[in-house]
Amino acid sequence: MERIILLCMVCTCLSAVDAEKFFFSPKWGPIGFKEREAHGDGTAMDAIIKANEFHVTGIIDGTTSLREGDIAVTAGKRSKVCFARSCLWAKSVDGHVYVAYRLSPDYTEIETKLIKKGMEHVEKGTCVKFVARTHERDFIDIQPKSGCWSYLGARGGRQTVSLQTPDCLRIGVIAHEFMHVLGFVHEQSRFDRDNYVTVMWPNIWRDRLRNFEKFKTDNLDLPYDYGSIMHFGMYAYSQDGQPTIVPKNNKNIKLGQSSSLSRIDKLKINKLYNCGDADDN
Q: What is the DSSP letter of 233?
A: P
Q: Is 186 annotated as a binding residue?
A: yes
d(CA 223, CA 205): 29
d(CA 157, CA 151): 12
Q: Number of helices (H) and strands (E), helices first, in the chain?
A: 6, 9
Q: Which of 121, 84, 137 is nearest to 129 (CA)?
A: 121
Q: Is 231 annotated as a binding residue?
A: no
d(CA 225, CA 187): 7
d(CA 272, CA 220): 7
Q: What's phi and psi for 256, nearest 5 deg?
A: 80, 180
Q: Which residues are catalytic?
A: 177
Q: What's phi and psi for 36, nearest 5 deg?
A: -60, -35
Q: Is 55 annotated as a binding residue?
A: no
d(CA 81, CA 184): 8
- Going by the annotation, the residues of the binding site for Zn(2+) are 176, 180, 186
